Amino acid sequence: MAEEKFYKYVIVGGGVSAGYAAREFGRHGVKPGELAIISKEAVAPYERPALSKAYLFPEGTARLPGFHVCVGSGGERLLPEWYAEKGIDLLLSTEIVKADLASKSLVSAAGTTFKYEVLIIATGSTVIKLTDFGVQGADANNIFYLREIDDADKLVAAIKDKKDGKAVIVGGGYIGLELGAALKVNNLDVTMVYPEPWCMPRLFTAEIAAFYEGYYANKGIKIIKGTVAVGFDSDASGNVTAVKLKDGRVLDADIVVVGVGGRPLTTLFKGQVEEEKNGIKTDGYFKTSVPDVYAVGDVATFPLKLYNELRRVEHVDHARKSAEQAVKAIKASEEGGSIETYDYLPYFYSRSFNLSWQFYGDNVGDTVLFGDNNPESSKPKFGTYWIKNGRVVGAFLEAGTPEENKAIAKVARIQPPVEDLEKLTKDGLAFASAL
Ligand SMILES: Cc1cc2nc3c(=O)[nH]c(=O)nc-3n(C[C@H](O)[C@H](O)[C@H](O)COP(=O)(O)OP(=O)(O)OC[C@H]3O[C@@H](n4cnc5c(N)ncnc54)[C@H](O)[C@@H]3O)c2cc1C
């Protein structure tokens, strides 16, 4: 007979949110056998951002168990033993293939049924693949995507195998920029290709992007903009040999990394729960439209109080905080209490080479650049403020100290008025530090 299991709480997904939710359950006290984390991945929750950074470095390499959650936010590292000690069932290599929210049950690929009282959906995102659009030759070997640790392991093996070879990065977003740098550090000959006029256009201004593109060029990375990959050549063994671009150019390639975006993994719940902006709609406690079902991290479309609108955020800081908020809300409601609604300040960051930037707030309105954004400088340091309706609503800083990053976060949170944009350019960081 098919197996059936019952848990008071089930978290489906075993990524960043799941790990931070588990820690929060642990803080509140969870009885043995009450909580299960069901994850497709074979390892306990880890800090996913490491996969595109130190995991790929030839020196100072990060490997598990080094980056299990919650080390990314300076917290305790939850090893598999931690879950065992707490009596939390970590059900790894277990994919949920069916969900029936009405009967409160999930079914795994192996046929086990999981019944629950409270469900937290933490399935995260999946990558968009070029094969999804039928791009010719896109199923060749050595064309990589990066989402889970298995993907990273395959890429690491290819980097070793194709020593000093040629790499083409398709996409100029987070993954493109971080992977371009990581492959260069591994001594590959790197070319980046993206259709937009500058990298990371969803966040960067042209001036910010010009700095990073200049810096990458100085490192020997070739950047081709305004065109896309339309096909791939491969050899008799099926290994990729070249990337064909829409503008007619053909780039030799031993390794291709594609970073063209993600898609929240909500398919299991389609038609059973209210959706908004491609995600599962929640309130400020991450409760969905279905009783006892919560959604956190990349899949949640939640009220962003500060801007009075619903948003979905695909960043690690929100994954951590939304998970904690949901567990606090679950626990409070069990005790007949209540907590404040989620009040999130958007925070994104990235690191590559010796560079490191942080952004807080909203990137809307006019912009003001300050500091030294010359990629040739020995110590470039610069930032940008976004100003809407006479107030600073967003702030970006490259090479900030922890105190300076705190100061720009404060700016984005309190949204101070600003009258003289030219003065803001000159004052730069002093404006933030004086608040
Ligand atoms: C390579 C990479 C680098 C990144 N770098 C940064 C960065 O520098 N800064 C930043 O802010 N953000 C970064 N992000 C984004 C950040 O990692 C995500 O926003 C965050 O991981 C989202 O957390 P989550 O828990 O919602 O989803 P995930 O961490 O993706 O976890 C989802 C989990 O659910 C599992 N799952 C999915 N479907 C099922 C199923 N049906 N059954 C069982 N399990 C399932 C998955 O296998 C996975 O383990 C990066 C992402 C990637 C991929």
Helix or strand holding residue 413 (H, E): helix 402-414
The lowest-confidence range among 81-90, 230-239, 422-431 is 422-431
pLDDT of residue 1: 60
How far apart are alpha carbons 170 and 185 in whole angstroms? 18
Cβ proximity of 305 and 322 under 8 Å? no
Cβ(184) – ligand 1 distance below 6 Å = no
Neighbours of 161 (CB within 10 A): 12
Looking at residue 218, its amino acid is: N
Asked whether the predicted pLDDT for residue 279 surpasses 80, the reply is yes
Q: Is 39 exposed, middle or buried (0-12, 13-18, 19+ CB in 10 A)?
A: buried
Return the pLDDT at 211.
98
Cα(149) to ligand 1 centroid in Å equals: 10
CA of 337 to the centre of ligand 1 (A): 31
- Collapsing DSSP to helix, strand or coil, 402 comes out as helix
Residue 155 CA to residue 257 CA, distance in Å, equals 9
Average per-residue pLDDT for the chain: 97
What is the percent of the chain with per-residue pLDDT over 90, rounded to a whole number?
97
Q: Whose CA is nearest to atom 45 of ligand 1?
A: 13
- The C-alpha atoms of residue 130 and residue 133 are separated, in whole angstroms, by 5
How many residues comprise the chain? 435
pLDDT at 85: 97
Amino acid identity, residue 42? A
Residue 427: what pLDDT? 87
What residues are paired with 192 via a beta bridge? Answer: 169, 223
Q: Which residue has the tokens 């999981």?
A: 114
- Region 386-409: mean pLDDT is 97
Whether the predicted pLDDT of 210 surpasses 90: yes
With a 6 Å cutoff on the Cβ, whether 48 touches ligand 1 is yes
CA dist., res. 107 & res. 109, Å (int): 7
Angle 58-59-63 (CA atoms, 0-180°, nearest 5)? 85
Contacts of 259 (CB under 8 A, 6+ apart): 127, 145, 146, 169, 170, 171, 173, 174, 175, 176, 179
- What would you measure as the largest C-alpha separation in the chain, in angstroms? 74
Instruction: Give the pLDDT of residue 372.
Output: 96
DSSP 107: E
Phi, psi at 150, each rounded to 5°: -60, -40
Ligand 1 centroid to residue 159 C-alpha, Å? 23
Residue 2 pLDDT > 80, yes or no? no
In the 8-state DSSP scheme, what is residue 101?
T
pLDDT tops 90 at residue 330: yes
User: pLDDT tens digit string along 189-200?
Assistant: 999 999 999 999
pLDDT number for residue 306: 97
The three-state secondary structure class of 170 is: strand
Q: Distance between CA atoms of 190 and 168, rounded to whole angstroms?
A: 6
Check pLDDT > 90 for residue 419. no
Nearest atom in ligand 1 to the alpha carbon of residue 94 is: 43
Choosing from 316, 320, 347, 405 the residue with most ligand 1 atoms within 8 A of its CB, the one to mutate for a pocket test is 316
Q: Is 147 in the pocket of ligand 1 (CB under 6 A)?
A: yes
Q: What is the pTM of this model?
A: 0.97
Residues 361, 348: Cα–Cα separation, whole Å: 9
Cα separations (Å) of 279 from 41, 109, 199, 296, 299?
22, 24, 25, 10, 5
> Of 77, 109, 66, which is closest to residue 91 (Cα–Cα)?
109
pLDDT of amino acid 335 = 94
Q: Ligand 1 atom 3: the closest Cα is on which residue?
A: 49
For tokens 């889970």, the residue is 148
Nearest to 421 by CA among 393, 398, 390: 390
Please tell me if the CB atom of residue 124 comes closer than 6 angstroms to any atom of ligand 1. Answer: yes
Q: Is 40 in the pocket of ligand 1 (CB under 6 A)?
A: yes
- Examine the pLDDT at 413 and tell me if it is beyond 80: yes
Assess contact for 176 and 169: CB atoms under 8 A.
Answer: yes
Atom of ligand 1 nearest to the CA of 297: 26
- Determine the distance separating the centroid of ligand 1 and the alpha carbon of 69, expressed in angstroms: 12
Backbone region of residue 91 per phi and psi (left: phi > 0; alpha: psi in -120 to 50; beta: other values): beta
CB 234 within 8 A of CB 137: yes
* DSSP string for 204-260: --HHHHHHHHHHHHHTT-EEEES--EEEEEE-TTSBEEEEEETTS-EEE-SEEEE--
How far is the CA of 352 from the CAs of 83, 172, 180, 276, 398, in angstroms? 33, 13, 9, 33, 11
Is 265 near ligand 1, meaning CB less than 6 Å away? yes
Q: Which atom of ligand 1 is nearest to the CA of 15?
A: 31
